[in-house]
Copies of this chain bind each other. A is one copy, B any other.
Amino acid sequence: MAVPASFEEKDFLSCCGSTTFAKHMVTASPFSSLEHAISVARDVWFNTVDVNGWLQAFSAHPQIGQQHAPSHASQTSAQWSKGEQSTALATATGSSLQELSEWNVRYWEKFGFVFLICASGRSTDEILAELKRRYTNRPIVEFEIAAEEQMKITELRLAKLFSSKESIPSTTDK
């Protein structure tokens, strides 16, 4: 039988860029299953990480449609962002990318953080429509929606993290 996969702070930081989140996940490790890890992650994110930690996590994301992740984002995080946006990039035209970029700037100016959406499987047009719809929200309402989106992204990334470790055979395996 394999021992539970063990992860470090940097692994959890790749899933969610809040250091409080990553530290609490390490403390709660090891997890008996992905479901267990997700359940703890939700509790930490919504009940323990403070609003500064939410902003810190948001700041680790590139703008949707942008090629470059923030310099403080981990390599794994940057790579995952790219993968999550692959549908959007495949369906993007030059003009829709241009419009998305302009709306990202407007969004940032209004809310003070990057537009966050769980982009997996969404086209550029879908993302743009959602950005325009959410732009009308009050700042505090949008802040909570962004936190929900971050949690969806975190769950997908935790799944990737767990599946990446599953293939490594445990040294105590017989």
A interface list, Cβ under 8 A from B? 46-55, 110-113, 138-140, 143-144, 147
Q: How far is the CA of A144 from the CA of B143 in the complex (A)?
A: 11
Min CB distance A21 to B, Å, is 12
Give chain B nearest CB distance to A107 CB in angstroms: 11
State the CA gap A157–B138 with chains docked (Å).
24
Contacts of A50 on B, CB cut-off 8 Å? 110-112, 139
| Shortest beta-carbon distance from A174 to chain B in Å | 45
Residue of B nearest to A146 (CB): B51
Number of copies: 2
Residues of the B chain whose Cβ atoms lie less than 8 Å from the Cβ of A140: 46, 51, 54, 143-144, 147
Q: Do the beta carbons of A112 and B51 come within 8 Å of each other?
A: yes
A52 to B, closest residue via Cβ: B112
Specify the chain B residue showing the minimal Cβ separation from A140: B144
Q: Is the CB of B138 within 8 A of A51?
A: no
> A51 touches which one: B47, B49, B139 (CB < 8 A)?
B139
Q: Can you name 7 extra interface pairs (CB under 8 A) apart from A47-B138, A50-B112?
A: A46-B140, A47-B139, A48-B139, A51-B55, A51-B139, A52-B112, A54-B140
Closest 10 CB pairs of A and B: A50-B112, A52-B112, A50-B139, A51-B143, A50-B111, A47-B138, A51-B139, A140-B144, A51-B112, A46-B138
Q: Report the separation of the CA atoms of residues A54 and B138 in the bound assembly, to the nearest whole angstrom.
A: 13
